[in-house]
């Protein structure tokens, strides 16, 4: 931090052993700077470089952080110009380059050199000091291991109280010493020894750590031995093989959990008898590996990653494994072709990965890999041909991934892979036709997402074991012959998002597949995304099959340019961009069979609600309701009022862009909704709304309301309106309210009665509400308050009952920066 503020220091190199904590250090620095509004940099840019230096990958990360437009097919030179022009506008910026292995040309990236742009500062991390010097660093900082006290504390944190047992503590201290004070080694060994109470196991671990190991290029013995011990300690069927599978992916690659688990299943490492989409066993195994600190969370919550040091060790173990996991891993290293010499001992290989390279052609010869069950060739975007002979030696393949390549066709030798379970051709945008796949009778998953096929492969109906068929983004697919889908007797997942094909309705039969024939698959399908020309159900048809779906999306083309949607997943039913009158016979079923419902951009809302009112409908199971941009004039237009509570157990309500709605209370009163159960309400962009709640005979109190959020309602004047002549309860309207968020409400003047206080309020956030002059606090009821966030000008203008109230609340106020 001192170096960052020093005038003479512009490039800082942080170096040290793999696993010593360089990345952790700069990640914490990055997070501290991003969260600190007083730090001097206009922007902080984090980039993961990795061993294989690829300029365009680094540029992509910089472009994303700068929020520049993504331009397809853009050259490195053009991208560099855009980055340079954008960074030139920053008075000061910080670029953090993590895991640098060789000199990086800043000009090629588009980053202004520090000597040219005096506001540019760079931090880089590397395992080697000489790499720092090639980047002309002004300062090199070596990261040393932990001191003895820190090392012991970290180990005990991971291993638990067992490390303090009398017979074990001397062994534990010796083990920490063998970890050479490296945080990664200590963490992984501590996790491996957690809750192990047998002294013999500790003695064995110490013996393994003291054992000499062969010299391994790029892996220090101080790191290898602890990681190998952790690997050897893994317990459970096939968990070691599952772990080693993860090193097939490039360094720092976010591995999609769903694909990883299905690949494990294809190899027979986890239960093949389960549903193909069942993730439970795989997730449990992944959590086990994360608990052992051998895997870590990746981005977005749907991926996992390997620490680069862990991956190096896993690659070494898999390269010499005799347990059916022997692997040739050459992923993400910039290869332009596959050296045939790599396959000198190919008959002993079980897994082969050349993914993420720049390979333009494959060997036009048979390579004998008779035991290989996995071949990963995805993300070689210039690869346009798979030679006929190349696959002939891979007869035992179970997983073949050719996604993200430029291949135009597939060789007929593919049809000899009779044990193949998974075939992925995702984003092969030049692929227009596949050979007949009828011989691949063991195929479980076929991914044709983003291909240019116009028809399904011939004899696909023979794939009696097929569980997953992905046809998303197949815009040129216009034909599916009748009977094909229904003959896929094990199909669990059919996904056709943005496909060119629409299933036909009754009366539309034109030699193409119909929704009617698809019904025979509903007893086994649990994931379905398809398009139709209209509503496919007949009057009084049973829709209970929808409840069996874990995910359902039906797109309805009602008129040119209008596509409606019904989406059902495990958390919510969504009806979007539909005329609700088309669902008149079935709409009550949707309201009555979910706990969470969302209506977005639908017409016919008034008519639907009037029908509910006339039929005395009540939906006791509905707890969460989202209504977005659905035109209504129901309240203003009068009509009959409900005789019973339409939503007696409603807990969460969201109203977005609801034109002509004066208040929530009017709507609730009309529908008979008593809102006793309501816990959260969010209102946004309701431009006609004058107030949210009215205090009167209908709503005396909201006893369970905990959260109120109101945004961008330009005519809102009051949060709670006092109805004249109505009896008002002496109790607080919102006795349990914890969170109040009011944003961009230019006409808002009052929240509630002046004398009312809200005793449980914890967090208040106010922005763009200059007319609001009072908050519901006194000196006595501020005990639960944790934070008030707002503009300083607004805070200074607030009116209080006395100076003591303001001074008691001042410590909780945080101004917007």
Tens of pLDDT, residue by residue over 312-371, are: 999 999 988 777 889 999 999 989 998 878 777 788 899 999 999 999 999 999 989 999
Q: Is 234 exposed, middle or buried (0-12, 13-18, 19+ CB in 10 A)?
A: middle
Residue 165, Cβ neighbours under 10 Å: how many?
A: 13
Torsion angle of the four alpha carbons 485, 489, 492, 497, in this order, in degrees rounded to the nearest 10: -10
Q: What is the pLDDT of residue 304?
A: 97
Angle at CA of residue 501, ends 497 and 503, nearest 5°: 100
As a whole-number percent, the residues of the chain with pLDDT over 70 amount to 96
Give residue-wise pLDDT tens across range 232-261: 999 887 999 999 999 999 999 999 999 999
pLDDT for 730 beyond 70: no
Average pLDDT in the 422-441 region? 95
- Helical packing angle, 221-232 and 199-210, nearest 10°: 150
Burial zone of 325 (CB within 10 Å; 0-12 exposed, 13-18 middle, 19+ buried): buried
196 class by beta-carbon count within 10 Å (0-12 exposed, 13-18 middle, 19+ buried) = middle
Residue 637 pLDDT class (50, 70, 90 cuts):
very low
CB 368 within 8 A of CB 345: no
3-state secondary structure of 603: strand
What pLDDT score was predicted for residue 421? 97
Q: What proportion of the chain, given as a percentage, has pLDDT over 90?
A: 68
Question: Is residue 728 very low, low, confident or very high in pLDDT (cuts 50, 70, 90)?
Answer: low
pLDDT of residue 639: 47
- The string of DSSP codes covering 178-238 is HTTT-HHHHHHHHHHTTT---HHHHHHHHHHHHS----BTTB-HHHHHHHHHHHHT--STT
Summarize the confidence of residues 809-816 as an average pLDDT. 88
Q: Can you count the helices (H) and strands (E) in the chain? A: 22, 31
Beta partners for 353?
329, 376
Residue-wise DSSP of 86-140: HHHT-SSEEEEEES--S---HHHHTPPPTTT-TTEEEEEEES-HHHHHHTT-SEE
Q: What is the pLDDT of residues 120-147, one digit of tens each?
A: 999 999 999 999 999 999 999 999 999 9
273 pLDDT above the threshold of 80 = no
Contact 51, 57 (CB under 8 A): no
- Using CA atoms, how far apart are residues 47 and 124, in angstroms rounded to an integer? 10
The answer to whether the beta carbons of residues 527 and 494 sit under 8 Å apart is yes
79: Cα separation from own chain's centroid: 27
Q: Could you report how far apart the first and last alpha carbons of the chain are, in Å?
A: 22
Compare 559 and 563 and report the one with higher pLDDT. 563
User: Strand, helix or coil at 163?
Assistant: helix
pLDDT for the residue numbered 729: 59
Separation in Å, CA 294 to CA 47, 290, 311, 331: 23, 6, 9, 19
Residue 803 pLDDT greater than 80, yes or no: no
- Find the mean pLDDT for residues 34-49: 88
Q: What is the mean pLDDT of residues 759-786?
A: 87
pLDDT tens-digit readout, 65-77: 999 998 887 899 9
Phi–psi pair at 636, nearest 5 degrees: -65, -30
pLDDT beyond 60 at 756: yes
Please compute Rg for the chain using Cα positions.
32
Residue 638 has pLDDT above 60, yes or no: no
pLDDT at position 723, please?
A: 67
pLDDT per residue over 571-582, tens digit each? 899 999 999 988
- For residue 746, pLDDT over 50 is answered with yes
Q: Which value, to the nearest 10 degrees, does the dihedral of the CA atoms of residues 559, 562, 563, 564 take?
A: -90
**Confidence check: pLDDT of 389 > 50:** yes
Nearest to 11 by CA among 128, 131, 101: 131
Q: Across the chain, what does the average pLDDT equal? A: 90
Distance in angstroms (rounded) separating the CA atoms of residues 331 and 261: 20
H or E element in which residue 739 lies: strand 739-743
Task: Using DSSP, state whether 84 is helix, strand or coil.
Answer: helix
**Is pLDDT of 722 > 50?**
yes
Q: Model confidence at 667, in pLDDT bands (50, 70, 90)?
A: confident
What 3-state class would DSSP assign to 537? coil
Give the pLDDT band of residue 213 (cuts 50, 70, 90).
Answer: confident
Residue 385 and residue 410 in contact, taking contact as beta carbons nearer than 8 Å: no
Beta bridge partners of 708: 681, 740
Q: Which residue has the higher pLDDT, 502 or 816?
A: 502
pLDDT in tens, 573-630: 999 999 998 888 899 999 999 999 999 999 999 899 888 988 888 999 999 999 999 9
Q: How confident is the model over 104-119, as pLDDT tens digits?
A: 999 999 999 999 998 9
């Amino acid at each position: 931090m001192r170096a960052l503020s020093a005038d003479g220091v512009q490039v800082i190199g942080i170096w040290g052993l793999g696993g010593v904590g360089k990345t952790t250090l700069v990640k914490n620095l990055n997070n501290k700077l991003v969260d600190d509004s007083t730090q001097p940099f206009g922007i902080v840019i984090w980039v993961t470089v990795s061993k294989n230096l690829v300029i365009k990958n680094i540029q992509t990360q910089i472009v994303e952080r700068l929020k520049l437009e993504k331009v397809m097919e853009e050259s490195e030179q053009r991208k560099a110009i855009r980055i340079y022009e954008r960074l030139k506008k920053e008075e000061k910026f910080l670029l953090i380059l993590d895991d640098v292995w060789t000199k990086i040309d800043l000009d090629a990236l588009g980053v202004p050199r520090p000597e040219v742009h005096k506001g540019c500062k760079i931090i880089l991390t590397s395992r080697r000091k000489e790499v720092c010097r090639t980047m002309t660093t002004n300062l090199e900082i070596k990261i040393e291991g932990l001191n003895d006290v820190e090392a012991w504390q970290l180990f005990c944190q991971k291993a638990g109280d067992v490390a303090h047992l009398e017979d074990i503590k001397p062994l534990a201290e010796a083990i920490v010493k063998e970890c050479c004070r490296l945080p990664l080694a200590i963490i992984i060994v501590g996790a491996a020894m957690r809750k192990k109470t047998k002294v013999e196991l500790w003695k064995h671990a110490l013996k393994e750590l003291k054992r000499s190991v062969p010299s391994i290029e790029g892996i220090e013995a101080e790191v290898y031995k602890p990681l190998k011990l952790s690997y050897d300690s893994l317990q459970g069927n096939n968990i070691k093989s599952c772990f080693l599978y993860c090193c097939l992916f490039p360094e720092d690659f976010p591995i999609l959990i769903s694909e990883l688990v299905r690949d494990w299943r294809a190899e027979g490492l986890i239960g093949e008898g389960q549903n193909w989409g069942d993730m439970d066993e795989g997730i449990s195994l992944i959590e086990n590996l994360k608990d052992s600190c051998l895997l870590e969370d990746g981005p977005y919550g749907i991926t996992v990653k390997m620490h680069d040091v862990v991956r190096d060790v896993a690659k070494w173990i898999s390269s010499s494994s005799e347990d059916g996991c022997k692997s040739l891993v050459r992923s993400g290293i910039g290869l332009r072709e596959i050296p045939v010499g790599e396959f000198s001992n190919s008959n002993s290989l079980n897994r082969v990965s050349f993914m993420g390279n720049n390979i333009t052609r494959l060997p036009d010869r048979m390579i004998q890999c008779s035991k290989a069950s996995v071949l990963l060739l995805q993300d070689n975007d210039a690869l346009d041909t798979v030679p006929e002979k190349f696959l002939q030696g891979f007869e035992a393949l179970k997983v073949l991934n050719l996604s993200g390549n430029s291949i135009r066709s597939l060789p007929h030798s593919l049809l000899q892979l009779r044990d193949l379970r998974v075939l992925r051709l995702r984003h092969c945008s030049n692929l227009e036709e596949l050979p007949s796949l009828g011989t691949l009778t063991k195929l479980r998953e076929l991914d044709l997402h983003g291909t240019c096929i116009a028809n399904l492969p011939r004899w696909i109906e023979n794939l009696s074991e097929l569980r997953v068929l992905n046809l998303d983004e197949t815009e040129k697919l216009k034909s599916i012959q009748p009977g094909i889908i229904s003959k896929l007797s094990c199909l669990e997942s059919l996904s056709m998002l943005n496909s060119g094909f629409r299933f036909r309705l009754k009366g539309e039969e034109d030699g193409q597949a119909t929704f009617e024939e698809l019904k025979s698959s509903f007893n086994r399908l649990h994931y379905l995304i398809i398009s139709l020309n209209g509503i496919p159900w007949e009057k009084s048809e049973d829709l209970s099959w929808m409840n069996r779906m874990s995910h359902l999306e039906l797109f309805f083309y009602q008129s040119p340019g209008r596509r409606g949607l019904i989406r059902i997943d495990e958390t919510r039913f969504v009806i979007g961009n539909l005329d609700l009158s088309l669902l008149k016979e079935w709409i009550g079923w949707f309201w009555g069979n979910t706990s969470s419902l969302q209506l977005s951009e639908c017409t016919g809302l008034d008519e639907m609600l009037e029908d509910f009112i006339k039929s005395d409908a009540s939906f006791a199971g509905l707890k969460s309701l989202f209504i977005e941009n659905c035109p209504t004039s129901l309240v203003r237009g009068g009509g009959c009022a409900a005789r019973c509570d339409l939503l007696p157990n409603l807990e969460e309500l969201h109203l977005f862009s609801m034109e002509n709605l004066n208040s929530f209370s009017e709507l609730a009163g009309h529908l008979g909704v008593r809102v006793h159960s309501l816990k959260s309400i969010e209102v946004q962009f309701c431009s006609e709304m004058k107030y949210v709640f009215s205090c009167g005979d209908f709503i005396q109190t909201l006893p369970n309301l905990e959260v109120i959020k109101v945004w961008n309602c330009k005519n809102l004047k009051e949060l709670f309106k006092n109805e004249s002549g109505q009896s008002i309860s002496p109790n607080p309207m919102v006795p349990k309210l914890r969170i109040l968020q009011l944003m961009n409400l230019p006409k808002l003047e009052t929240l509630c009665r002046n004398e009312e206080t809200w005793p449980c309020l914890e967090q208040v956030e106010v922005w763009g509400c200059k007319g609001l002059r009072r908050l519901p606090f006194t000196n006595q009821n501020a005990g639960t308050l944790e934070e008030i966030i707002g503009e300083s000008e607004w805070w200074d203008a607030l009116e209080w009952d006395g100076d003591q109230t303001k001074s008691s609340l001042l410590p909780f106020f945080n101004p917007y920066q």
